[in-house]
Amino acid sequence: MKGARGEGLAEALEAVVKVAEILGAPRLIKVVSAHISGISYRNLGVEGVEYLEELAEKGLRFAVPTTINPAGFDMERYGEMGVGVREHELQMRALKALARMGAQATLSCTPYLIYPPRFGDHLAWAESSAVLYANSVLGARSNREGGPFSVLEALVGRAPYVGLHTDEARKPSVVLDLRRIRDFVEASRSYSALGYLVGEVVGKGVPALHDPPGGLKEPGNLRVFLAAVGASSSIGMVLIEGISPEFTLSEGLERIEPEVSDLTEILESWRCEDFDAAVLGCPHLSPDELLDLANRLKGKTLRKPLFVFTSRWSAVVARAAVEKLRSMGVRVYSDTCMVVGNLSALGVHRCATDSAKAAYYLSSQGYKVALMPREALLEYVIG
C-alpha cells in the first residue's frame, strides 16, 4: 500500500506541476483547504466514479481539509426524490471513495459558511460561486479550478501560483458604474439578474463595481449575485465598493455604464406562463435565510409547491426553522440542489427561482424557468 500511495501521490504531483507549467506559474503554493465540485453521479458518470475509487484504492489521502459540493440527492430523503437503485449505488460509491481519501461530506456549494477561510488564505476551490465569495468578500485566494484538478490539488496540498493567487491578477481590469441601474435593482430586488449582467458584460478579468445598490450588503442578495456572475462568465473575483476588502479603482480603466434595458432583457429571457413549483437554494440557503423564510411563511397556505435546498449543516443549525417549514408543506432537502438533482423525478418541468445561476443551468437541461426576486416568488407561491 505504501508503494502504491507513493507512486499515486507522485503521479498527482506530476500532473499539478504540468498544469502549472502550461499556465506559466513560476512555482506551486501551499493551500489551506480544497473544495471539490462535480461529485454528483450525473456529473461523474461511471468513469468518474471508478477514477475516484482507483485513487482511494492506492491509499491516497487529501493533504489539506477538503470539502465537497452537492450530490445528486438528499442522503436521507432520496426515496421521496425518485432516485433509482443504479443512481443511488453510483453516488454512494463516489462518496465512499472521497471519504476514504479524507473528504468531509459537507455536500454544499457554500463551504465558506461552514469553514470560512481567512483573508489571504490560498485555496484550491472548484465551485464557482464559492470561489467568487471567497475572493470577493473574504479576501481569500483561489482560482476557479476544475473539479478533477481540485482533487489532485487536494492530494498534494498545492496549487499553481498563478491567476488570482497573485497580487497582480487581483487588480481591477474594468470598472462598472452602476449609477444608472442602481435604483431599478433596489426597487425590483433584481440582484441575481444584476450578477448575470455583470458576468455577461465583462466575461473575464476582475470587474470593479462602483456605486453598487446598497442591498448587495444583505448576505442572501450578495450570494445569489455572485453565483450569477459565475454562471455567465469565467470571472473568479468581483471588487465591490463597500464590500470587498481589496476594493480599489485604478486610473485609465475602461468604464462601462449598464442601462436598465440590459437588465430587463435578462429578466424577460426567463419567463414562463405558469410553473409547477418554486425552487430556492442556489447557492444553498443559510441558517438565517431558513429562519427568515419560516417567518415569512408563518400562517400562510401554499398554493404552489415550494422546494428548498440547503446544506445539512445549515439544516442542523436552523433545525427549528426547517421543522416549521416542513410542517407548512415546504419540501426541504439537504445534500443536493435543483441543478445537480433531478427535478423531473419530483414532477417539476416548469419552475420559478430567484437564482439566475439556477435559471441558466435548468434552462440548459430543458426546463421552462421563470426568474424573479424571492419576494415576488413567495407572493406568487402563497397567493
Residues 144 and 278 in one domain: no
**Residue 309 has which C-alpha cell?**
435546498
Q: Which of 134, 149, 165 is the last residue of a domain?
A: 165
Q: Which residue is it, cell 458604474? A: 177
Q: Which of 140, 165, 190 is the last residue of a domain?
A: 165
Residues 226 and 259 in one domain: yes
DSSP per-residue string spanning 37-79? ---SHHHHHHHHHHHHHHHHHTT---SS-EEE---SS-TTTTT
Residues 352 and 235 in one domain: no
Residues 148 and 31 in one domain: yes
Instruction: Give the closest residue to 137 by CA, choosing from 60, 217, 249.
Output: 217
**Residue 236 has which C-alpha cell?**
473568479
Other beta carbons within 10 angstroms of residue 372's beta carbon come to 24
Q: Which of 165, 199, 223 is the last residue of a domain?
A: 165
Q: pLDDT tens per residue, the chain (383 residues)?
A: 344 568 889 999 999 999 999 999 999 999 999 999 999 999 999 999 999 999 999 999 999 999 999 999 999 999 999 999 999 999 999 999 999 999 999 999 999 999 999 999 999 999 999 999 999 999 999 999 998 999 999 999 999 999 999 999 999 999 999 999 999 999 999 999 999 999 999 999 999 999 999 999 999 999 999 999 999 999 999 999 999 999 998 889 999 999 999 999 999 999 988 899 999 999 999 999 999 999 999 999 999 999 999 999 999 999 999 999 999 999 999 999 999 999 999 999 999 999 999 999 999 999 999 999 999 999 999 97
* Domain harbouring 377, CATH code: 3.30.499.10
**Residue 191 has which C-alpha cell?**
440582484
Q: Which residue is it, cell 502549472? A: 20
Residues 259 and 277 in one domain: no
3-state secondary structure of 20: helix
Residues 86 and 134 in one domain: yes
Residues 191 and 64 in one domain: no
Residues 132 and 13 in one domain: yes
What is the Cα–Cα distance from 354 to 340, expressed in whole angstroms?
17
Torsion (CA) 229, 289, 244, 198 in degrees, nearest 10: 20
Contacts (Cβ under 8 Å, ≥6 apart) of 176? 198, 201, 202, 207, 208, 209, 210, 255, 256, 257, 258
Instruction: Give the closest residue to 133 by CA, choosing from 22, 252, 12, 230.
Output: 230
Instruction: Give the closest residue to 108 by CA, choosing from 46, 37, 47, 190.
Output: 37
Range of the domain at 40: 2-165
Residues 148 and 12 in one domain: yes
Residue 335 has a pLDDT of 98
Residue 1 has a pLDDT of 38
DSSP per-residue string spanning 279-348? EEEEEEEPHHHHHHHHHHHTT---SS-EEEEE-HHHHHHTHHHHHHHHHTT-EEEES--TTTS-GGGGT-
Residues 147 and 191 in one domain: no
Per the structure, the count of domains in the chain is 3
Whether the Cβ atoms of residue 284 and residue 314 lie closer than 8 Å to each other: yes
Q: What is the pTM of this model?
A: 0.96
Residues 44 and 125 in one domain: yes
Residues 62 and 195 in one domain: no
Beta partners for residue 160, in sequence order:
28
**Residue 303 has which C-alpha cell?**
398554493
